[in-house]
Structure 1
Amino acid sequence: MLDFAQTVNNERETLFVEVILPLAIPKNYTYRVPFELNSSVTVGKRVVVQFGKSKLYTAIIYTVGNQAPQKYEAKYIIDILDDRPVVTPRQLSFWKWLAEYYLCQIGEVMNAALPAALKLASETKIVLNKEFEYDKASLTDKEYLIVDALEIQPELSVSDIVKLLGQKTVLPLLRILFEKNIIHISEEVSDKYKPRRRTFITLNPVYQNPDMLKELFSILERAPKQADALLAYIQLSRKQKHITRPELTEASGAGAAAIKALVDKEVFIADERVVSRLSTDDEEIDENFVLSAAQRAALSSINQQFTQKDVVLLHGITSSGKTQIYIRLMEQMLANGKQVLYLLPEIALTTHIVERLRHHFGNHIGVYHSRFNDNERVEVWQKVLSGDYRIVLGARSSVFLPFGDLGLIIVDEEHESSYKQYDPAPRYNARDASIFLGHLHGGKVLLGSATPSFESYYNAQTNKYGLTELHERFGGVELPQIQVVSIATETKQKTMQSHFSSVLMLDIEQALLKKEQVILFQNRRGYAPVVMCKTCAHTPKCINCDVTLTYHKSSSKLHCHYCGYREDTPSTCPACGSAHLEQKGFGTEKVEDELSLILPDARIRRMDLDTTRSKMAFQNILNDIEEKKIDILVGTQMVAKGLDFPDITVIGIISADSLLKYPDYRANERSFQLLAQVSGRAGRRGKQGKVVIQTYDPTHRVIGQVIRNDYTDLYNTEIVERKAFKYPPFYRIIQLDIKHKQPEQLYIQAEYLARELRNHFGDRVIGPEAPLINRIRNYYIRSITLKFEKDTVSITKVKTILQEILLQFETTKLSQGCIVQPDVDPY
C-alpha cells in the first residue's frame, strides 16, 4: 500500500525541464511537465514546445528537475516525441564545449548537429512522397486528413497542419508519417529523393523438391530462355542469399521477358522491397593484405604511443599505405567492441574510399555527410545510436553522431582547411573538435597526413602528441619525378600552346600513347576569372558583393562564386560602349575547352564544384577513371585528395603562382601541401609518375622544397616567421567580423568595438580593417583580429571578457542593424 502511495506521489510531482531550442539564444528555456508525462521525461529526448506567441519547436531535454524558473512563468511542454533519447549525455557535453570554445550558442550547435527531420518547427515545410505507394485504409483519421490535404496542396507548413487538425500535438503524427516514408521534409525536394527499391527473385518453395524441379526443367525444354533463367538462379543461389531481378537477368542472358514469364507461371516469386540506401548486400570481408615492414613498424609505434598519448600524428608521405594502417587499427577496435569514426575532408572522397573499406568490414561501416538527403541522415543517426554501425566514415559533420563507445577517431588529411566550418555557426574545426570528442569517450585520436598542419606538427615536436613517421612508399614505388617549367621562358621562345608548355604537352602525348592517364590541376573554376574592356578597362562586378564576375562558357553567363548572382555576358562594354571585350585569366573550364582543341581525340573530363553538384556526379567520374573512359581529368583541389588509380602517371600543375602569391601567412604552408598532394596522385601502383609544375617563378623556395619532398625544411623555415609575427602555433587568434548594410554606420560600430577591446586587451587587438573582399551579399565587412599568447594567457578568461564586451555592445543603440560574428581559430 505504501509503495502504491509513493508511486502516485511521484507521478504528481511537479517537474521542470530545461531544453535546448534550435535558436541562437544565450540561455536555455525551462518548461513545466504535465503530470501524465512525468515518467517519460529523460535527458536527450525530443519534446514539442511553444516558444514566442505561437511558434512550435522541437527541443532537446537538457536537464530534468523540480525547480521552477525565477524570472518567468514556465509554459507546459506539449508532447514528448521519443520512446528513448535520440541525443546522448556525451553529445550534450560535446555541444556545450563547442558553444563555449567557438563563442556561439548551444542552440546553434543543435541546429548543426541534428538532421532536419529530428528538429521540426512551425515553419518546416512538409510535402507528400509521390513515389511511395501506401494503403490509405491503413492510416488513422488524422493521418488521412494530413495526406488528403497534401494531395490538394503540394506543400504545407507544420503551422498549417496545426490549424487543419485544430490541435498543437501534430509533430508525433508527422514523425509517424515520415517514418512510413509517406512525407518528406521540403528541404529534401532538391535532392529528388526516392526510396531505394529492389525487386528480389526467389524460387517457389514447391520447386525446392528435387523431383518437382526435375519435372519443371523437362517442361521448360520448349522454352530454352526460361530454362536458362532457372539454371542461372540455381547457380547464383549457391553463392548469395538474395538475388535481384537485374542480377538474374545479367547472369542468365535470358532477357526480362523470360523472367517475367516464369513469374507469371509462379515458378519465381518477385518481391519488391524498400532496401537501405546506405549499404550494399553483405560482401566477403577481405583481410588478406600484408603490411610492409615499414607499415608494421609504424603500426607498432602508434599502438605503443597510444599507451601514453591520447593523440598521435602519423606523418606518412603520399602513397605510403596509411589507409592500410588505419584498417588494422580499426580491426583492433572492433575486436575490443569499440566504435570508430574515420573523418575525411571532402564529401566527395567518402564515395571512393567507402568501397575500399567495405571490402574489409562489410556492412559494419556507415557513411555520413551533408549531401545525403534527410531520410538517409536520420537512418545513419539511428543505426549509430543503436550500435548497428561500428565504423562511420564521413565528413566533418560526422562528429555530431550519437556514438555510444568511441574507441578511435582517425582524421585523415588532418591539415585540410575543409575541416573548418565557416558559416553558419558553430565555426568549428572538426580536427580540433575530434580531439575533445575522443577525450569525452576516453578514446584515441590518430591524425594522418603527408603534409601535417604546423599546429599538429608543433604539438608532436613539443611532445604534446605522439609522432610516427613513414617515409617510404608502399611496394617500393618511387616518388614521382618533378620537373619545373618556366612559363616566362617558354612564352619568350614561343613554345607555349595556349596554357600548356612544350614539356607538359610532350608528357601528355606520351602518356596517351601508352594508354595511361593524366591529371591537370588549375586552382580556379569557370572559364575566365575576369572579362575586361580593352578600351576603358571596365570589368563587370557582382551587384551584391565586391568581386568581379567569372565567365562560365557552359552557361554563357557571368557568375558570382560568393552569392550565386548571374547575369548575361555583355556584347559591348556597359561603361563606354566599346565592343572590344577580352577575357583575362583562365579556369578549369577554359583548360578543358582549349585542351580539347589541341587533342581532339582525347577523352577529357572536368572535376570541380560546377560538375559535381549532383549527388552521384563525383562517383560517376571516379568510375569512369577506373574504367579508363577518361584520358585526361582537369580539376581544382578535388583532384588533389585521395585519388588512387594505377594508370595516372602524369600530373600537370598549370599555374603554381596563384597558390604561392596569395596574401596569407599560411600561403607557403598551403602551397606546399597542395602541390605535394597533387604530385602524390602520380605513379601509385608500381609505376614512377611525372609531375610538371608550370610557374613564372621556378626558383621559389617552396617549389624547391616540393621537389625535394622536404617538409622538415619548410616547417623549420616557416615556424621562425610564425613566432616572430605572432601567429599560430605560438598564438591563438580570434577574429571578429562586423557586418552592416551601411558602410558609414559600419565604420562607426567597428571603431567603437575596437576601442572597447583595446581597453581590455591592449595591442593584442589589430584593426578594424577591410578584408580582401569587403562586401558579400550586400553586407559591408570590417574585421578585428585578436592575438593571444598560447602559453601565458588564459583563453577561457579572454573569451569570458570578450562575451561580456559583445553583450554590452549589443545592448547599445549603436549596434542596430549590425551583425558581429566571432571566429575562433579562423584560419
Structure 2
Amino acid sequence: MTFVEVLLPVPISGTFTYSVPEALADSVRIGYRVIVPFGRKKFYTGIIASQTPVAPQGYEVKDIALILDEWAVVRHPQLKLWHWMADYYLCTPGEVMRAAMPAGLKIESETFVSADPDYEEKPEERLSQREMAVMNYILGCEKKQPLDLIGKKTGFANIGPIINSLLEKGAVQISENLVERYRSRKETYVRLTVDKGDSDGLHRAFDSVRSGSMQEKALLALIEISAFMRQDTELHEVTRAELMERSGVTTTVIAAMAKKGIVEIYKKEISRFSYSGLVTGELPVLSEAQSAALDSIHKSWFEKDITLLRGVTSSGKTEIYIHLIDYVLRQGRQALYLVPEIALTTQLTRRLQRVFGDKVVIYHSKFSDNDRVDIWKKLLSSSEPCVVIGARSAVFLPFASLGLVIVDEEHESAYKQQDPAPRYNGRDAAIVLASMHGAKTLLGSATPAVDTYYKALTGRFGLVELTERYEGLRLPHVEIVDMAAARKRGEVEGTFSLLTRRLVNESLQRGEQSILFINRRGYAPIARCKLCGYVPKCENCDVSLTYHR
C-alpha cells in the first residue's frame, strides 16, 4: 500500500496523509493534483507533496478519490517557494497554495440545495418570511441551485442560517458536487478527408457536389486556403470561421459536406494568447550612459546575484531591461519582469511584443480564471524561452528555467499584499524565487527603498547608477519652501507661499498650465500654533489630528 502526503488549500498547518488504491498506485507522482475527501462531506483539490510506503499509526487513513493529471501541475521549485513563504510570512502552506494556484485548477465540492418533494408544512413549524422567500426561489428553479447563487438571487447576505433552518424542518435537501471552473478555449476546424496528392479522391469529392453550388464554392475555397494543390508546403489548418469568411457559406453547408464525407469537422484546443502585430526584433539603441550601465550590470553579476540599478527618472532603464531580457532568451532561459501595478503591464507589453513577439506572456489577477490557467499550462508544457510580465502574483508561475528576474520600481508598496494570507512582499519573494532557480535579479528604481539601498551600499547587493537622463534631457528644477519659516517672515498668503503664487501667476501669463498636488484628507493634515508650534494629538496615541473645515 502506498501513502501520500497531500497539501490542501486550507489554513491548517502541515500536510494530510491519504492512502492510494492499488488501481491508482502507478499513476501518482509528486506535483499531481488529486481529489481527496476532507471532513465529513467536503472534497478538495490537493497537491501530492511526497510519497511513502510507511503507514501512519493511530488513525484511519482515507483513500484519495481521483487523480486529475497525467503530469505534474506544480514544479519542485514552486513547492520550495510555497514552504519558504509559509515559514517566513507566518502562515500555512495551504494558504500559500490557495493564493498561488488559479481558481480554475482547484476543483472543489460545492453545496447545492433543492426542495424536498415529500415536505409538508406543519402548523407548529411555519416558515418565516425569509425562509418563504428562499423556498419560493428554490421551487421556481428546475435544477438544484448552488448555495452562493441562492444568496445572490434572494438578496440575503448570510444565507447559511436560513438554509440550516429549512434543513431542520425537512423543507430542503443539500448535496455536495465537484465543480470544475476551467474551460479551455476551442476552435472548430475543417479539413479535407482526401489525402494530399490523391487526384482520384479529389475528383470523387467534386463529383459529389453539384456544379455551381455553395458546396463546390466551399470546396474550392478550402483547397485554396489549405494549400492542398501545392506540393512544396504542408497542409494549412483551416478554421471553420476562416472558411466561412472566404467562401461566404454557412455552417449548414459545411455540415452537409461533412455528412457526405468530403470534409471532417473537429475541435482543437488553442491558446488564448497570440500576438498578430508588427514584430521588428530590433533592440532599442542605447546611449553611452546606458551602454556603460548595461556593462556594469553584467560585471556586477559575476560577484553578486542581486544588483540594484539606481537610475534617475527618464534615464532609460526599460531599454536596458529589454537588452538583458534578450540576452537571457538567447541563452534559452526564461525571464520574469515584475511591475508594481497592473496598469503598467499594458504599455510595457506593447513595447516588448514589438521586439519579442509571442515570447511575451502577461499574467496578473485581473485575468479571468480560464486565461490564468492557460498561461499556467503554457509554462508547464513548454520550457521554451519567454518573458513573463506581471504584478506580484506572477512569482507563483511554474517556471522551468528561470534565468532573470527584473523588479521594476522595487520600492513600491504595491508589491506588498495585505490581505488575505500570505501577506508577502512580491519583491522579496521574487529574489528568493530567482535564487532557487540560480537566476540573476535586477532591482530597478529612481528612489530605492531604504533597506535595498543600504544593502547595495554595504556590498550585499551590486550597485549600478545611471545619473544621466536619456538624450541628455535636464532634470526638473525643484525648490523646497519651508512654510513655517515663510510664515514667520510674512511670506505666506492664505494657503500658499508668495513664491508659489508668483510662479503660478507667471506661468498663467505665459499661457502655460500648472498642477497643484494636494495629498491629504481634510482641510489640513495637522493644525499647528503659529507662535509656539504646538500640534494637537490624539489623547490615546501619538497620531496628529487632521483639521477639517
Residue 521 (structure 1) shift: 4.0
Matched, 1:373 2:368: yes
**Aligned-partner Cα distance in 2 for 1:125–1:178:** 21
Structure 2 alignment gaps of length 5 or more = 114-139, 151-173, 188-216, 225-236, 255-264, 531-539, 545-549
2:348 equivalent in structure 1: 353
Matched, 1:35 2:22: yes
**Aligned-partner Cα distance in 2 for 1:91–1:156:** 33
Give the match's secondary structure for 1:83. Answer: coil
**Aligned-partner Cα distance in 2 for 1:92–1:115:** 15
Q: 2:82 aligns with which of 88, 95, 120?
A: 95
Residue 278 (structure 1) shift: 3.8
Q: Which residue identity does 1:408 align to in structure 2? A: L
Gap change, CA 1:55 and 1:311, over 3 Å in 2 = same
Gap change, CA 1:441 and 1:265, over 3 Å in 2 = closer
Residue 384 (structure 1) shift: 1.9
Gap change, CA 1:206 and 1:61, over 3 Å in 2 = same
Matched, 1:289 2:279: no
2:432 equivalent in structure 1: 436
Q: 2:380 aligns with which of 372, 382, 385?
A: 385
2:468 equivalent in structure 1: 472
Q: 1:66 aligns with which of 22, 35, 53?
A: 53
- The correspondence of residues 5-20 of structure 1 with structure 2, limited to 5 A, is 14-20=1-7
Residue 433 (structure 1) shift: 1.2
- Conservation of the 8 A alpha-carbon contact between 1:123 and 1:158: no
Residue 118 (structure 1) shift: 1.2
Residue 260 (structure 1) shift: 8.4
Residue 772 (structure 1) shift: 6.5
Gap change, CA 1:508 and 1:37, over 3 Å in 2 = farther
Residue 323 (structure 1) shift: 0.5
Give the match's secondary structure for 2:109. Answer: coil
- Conservation of the 8 A alpha-carbon contact between 1:121 and 1:158: no
- The correspondence of residues 502-513 of structure 1 with structure 2, limited to 5 A, is 503-504=503-504, 507=507
Gap change, CA 1:154 and 1:338, over 3 Å in 2 = farther
Q: Which residue identity does 1:337 align to in structure 2? A: G
Q: Which residue identity does 1:364 align to in structure 2? A: K
2:94 equivalent in structure 1: 107
Q: Which residue identity does 1:420 align to in structure 2? A: K
- Conservation of the 8 A alpha-carbon contact between 2:11 and 2:94: yes
Residue 263 (structure 1) shift: 2.9
**Residues 328-353 of structure 1, C-alpha deviations (whole Å, 9 max, x = no match):** 00001000011000011112211221
2:419 equivalent in structure 1: 423
Q: Which residue identity does 2:432 align to in structure 1? A: F
Matched, 1:84 2:80: no
Q: 2:248 aligns with which of 263, 270, 292?
A: 263
1:405 equivalent in structure 2: 401
- Conservation of the 8 A alpha-carbon contact between 1:122 and 1:159: no
2:146 equivalent in structure 1: 156
**Aligned-partner Cα distance in 1 for 2:185–2:142:** 20
- Conservation of the 8 A alpha-carbon contact between 1:122 and 1:158: no
Residue 265 (structure 1) shift: 11
2:183 equivalent in structure 1: 178
Residue 125 (structure 1) shift: 8.9
Q: 2:335 aligns with which of 327, 334, 340?
A: 340
Q: Which residue identity does 1:179 align to in structure 2? A: S
Give the match's secondary structure for 1:409. Answer: strand
1:117 equivalent in structure 2: 104
2:459 equivalent in structure 1: 463
Q: 1:314 aligns with which of 275, 290, 309?
A: 309
**Aligned-partner Cα distance in 1 for 2:15–2:146:** 29
Residue 21 (structure 1) shift: 0.8
**Aligned-partner Cα distance in 2 for 1:151–1:381:** 36
Residue 283 (structure 1) shift: 2.9
Matched, 1:299 2:294: yes
Residue 208 (structure 1) shift: 10
Give the match's secondary structure for 2:291. Answer: helix
Q: Which residue identity does 1:421 align to in structure 2? A: Q
Q: Which residue identity does 2:349 align to in structure 1? A: V
**Aligned-partner Cα distance in 2 for 1:771–1:64:** 54
**Residues 505-541 of structure 1, C-alpha deviations (whole Å, 9 max, x = no match):** 654785758xxxx7664435xxxx45xxxxxxxxxxx
Gap change, CA 1:152 and 1:347, over 3 Å in 2 = farther
1:758 equivalent in structure 2: none
TM value normalised by structure 1 = 0.46
- Conservation of the 8 A alpha-carbon contact between 1:282 and 1:363: no
1:363 equivalent in structure 2: 358
Q: Which residue identity does 1:56 align to in structure 2? A: F
Q: Which residue identity does 1:386 align to in structure 2? A: S
**Residues 46-73 of structure 1, C-alpha deviations (whole Å, 9 max, x = no match):** 1111111111111111101112222321
Q: Which has the higher contact order (CA 8 A, sep 6+)?
A: 2
Q: Which residue identity does 1:75 align to in structure 2? A: K
Q: Which residue identity does 1:70 align to in structure 2? A: Q
Give the match's secondary structure for 1:302. Answer: helix
- The correspondence of residues 345-744 of structure 1 with structure 2, limited to 5 A, is 345-387=340-382, 390-484=386-480, 492-493=492-493, 501=501, 503-504=503-504, 507=507, 521-523=517-519, 529=521, 584=523
- Conservation of the 8 A alpha-carbon contact between 2:107 and 2:178: no
**Aligned-partner Cα distance in 2 for 1:520–1:376:** 41
- Conservation of the 8 A alpha-carbon contact between 2:328 and 2:404: yes
**Aligned-partner Cα distance in 2 for 1:323–1:509:** 37
**Residues 166-219 of structure 1, C-alpha deviations (whole Å, 9 max, x = no match):** 998845xx36x733689xxxxxxxxxxxxxxxxxxxx97847999xxxxxxxxx
- Conservation of the 8 A alpha-carbon contact between 1:485 and 1:503: no
Gap change, CA 1:508 and 1:299, over 3 Å in 2 = farther
Give the match's secondary structure for 2:307. Answer: strand
- Conservation of the 8 A alpha-carbon contact between 1:315 and 1:448: yes
Gap change, CA 1:33 and 1:320, over 3 Å in 2 = same
Aligned sequence identity (%)? 44
Residue 481 (structure 1) shift: 2.4
Residue 315 (structure 1) shift: 0.8
Gap change, CA 1:180 and 1:366, over 3 Å in 2 = closer
- Conservation of the 8 A alpha-carbon contact between 1:115 and 1:378: yes
Give the match's secondary structure for 2:478. Answer: strand
Gap change, CA 1:461 and 1:87, over 3 Å in 2 = same
Q: 2:275 aligns with which of 266, 280, 300?
A: 280
2:198 equivalent in structure 1: none
Residue 435 (structure 1) shift: 1.4
Gap change, CA 1:478 and 1:458, over 3 Å in 2 = same
**Aligned-partner Cα distance in 1 for 2:515–2:102:** 36
TM value normalised by structure 2 = 0.67
**Aligned-partner Cα distance in 2 for 1:770–1:403:** 47
- For the aligned residue pairs, the C-alpha RMSD in angstroms reads 4.3
Residue 770 (structure 1) shift: 7.1
Residue 397 (structure 1) shift: 0.8
Q: Which residue identity does 1:287 align to in structure 2? A: E
Q: Which residue identity does 1:475 align to in structure 2? A: E
Residue 122 (structure 1) shift: 2.2
**Aligned-partner Cα distance in 2 for 1:104–1:262:** 59
- Conservation of the 8 A alpha-carbon contact between 1:345 and 1:412: yes
Give the match's secondary structure for 1:342. Answer: strand
**Aligned-partner Cα distance in 2 for 1:457–1:82:** 45
Q: How many residues align?
A: 422
Give the match's secondary structure for 1:122. Answer: strand
Structure 1 alignment gaps of length 5 or more = 1-13, 127-149, 161-165, 183-202, 211-240, 246-258, 531-583, 586-657, 663-695, 698-768, 774-827
Residue 275 (structure 1) shift: 7.2
**Residues 55-98 of structure 1, C-alpha deviations (whole Å, 9 max, x = no match):** 11111111011122223211001001111111101100111111
- The correspondence of residues 138-149 of structure 1 with structure 2, limited to 5 A, is none
**Aligned-partner Cα distance in 2 for 1:110–1:36:** 28
